Amino acid sequence: MDADVIIIGGNHSGLSLAACLGTAGLDVLVLERGAKKQARFDGRTLALSFRSMQLLRGAGVGHLIEKDACPMRDIRVADQGSTAYLDFHSRDVGDEPFGWIVENHLFHQALNRRLDALKNVRVMHSTVVKTMECDGPLAHLTLSKGRLAAPLIVGADGRNSFCRKAAGIPAYGWNYRQTAIACVISHSKPHHNGAVEHFQPGGPFATLPMTKQRSSIIWTEKPAVAEALMEMSAAVFTQKLESKVEDWLGTIKLISRPFSYPLTLQHAKHYTAPRLVLIGDAAHGIHPIAGQGFNLGMGDIGVLTEEIVRTTRLGLDPGHPDILKRYEKRRKFDNGNMVLMTDGLVRLFSNAIPPVEFARRFGLGAMQQMPPLGRFFMRTAMGI
Ligand X SMILES: Cc1cc2nc3c(=O)[nH]c(=O)nc-3n(C[C@H](O)[C@H](O)[C@H](O)COP(=O)(O)OP(=O)(O)OC[C@H]3O[C@@H](n4cnc5c(N)ncnc54)[C@H](O)[C@@H]3O)c2cc1C
Interface residue with ligand X, options 293, 302, 318, 374 (CB under 6 A): 293
Residues 123, 14: contact at Cβ < 8 Å? Answer: no
Residues 80, 203: contact at Cβ < 8 Å? Answer: no
Residues 141, 147: contact at Cβ < 8 Å? Answer: yes
Give the separation between CA 308 and CA 291, rounded to whole angstroms. Answer: 28
Helices then strands, each counted (H, E), the chain? 11, 21
User: Is 181 or 323 the residue whose CB approaches ligand X more closely?
Assistant: 181
Q: Interface mask (CB under 6 A) for ligand X, residues 231-270, using x and -? A: ------------------------------x---------
| Residue 118 CA from chain centroid, whole number | 24
User: Is 295 or 311 the residue whose CB approaches ligand X more closely?
Assistant: 295
Q: How far is CA 332 from CA 82, 164, 179, 228, in A?
A: 37, 15, 27, 38
- Binding region for ligand X (CB under 6 A) out of 76-84, 242-250, 285-293, 311-319: 285-293
47: contact with ligand X by CB under 6 A: yes
User: Is 288 or 374 the residue whose CB approaches ligand X more closely?
Assistant: 288
User: Is 64 or 182 the residue whose CB approaches ligand X more closely?
Assistant: 182
Interface residue with ligand X, options 291, 318, 319, 374 (CB under 6 A): 291
- Binding region for ligand X (CB under 6 A) out of 30-38, 79-87, 130-138, 356-364: 30-38
* CB 31, min distance to ligand X, A: 5
User: Is 20 or 84 the residue whose CB approaches ligand X more closely?
Assistant: 20
SS3 250: coil
Q: How far is CA 24 from CA 5, 163, 242, 275, 306, in A?
A: 12, 25, 48, 20, 10
* CB 279, min distance to ligand X, A: 7
* CB 295, min distance to ligand X, A: 4
Which residues are within 8 A (CB) of 126 and not within 5 positions of it... i.e. 6 or more apart? 32, 33, 34, 35, 36
Binding residues vs ligand X (CB under 6 A): 8-14, 31-34, 44, 46-47, 128-129, 156-158, 162, 180, 182, 218, 261, 280-281, 288, 291-295, 297
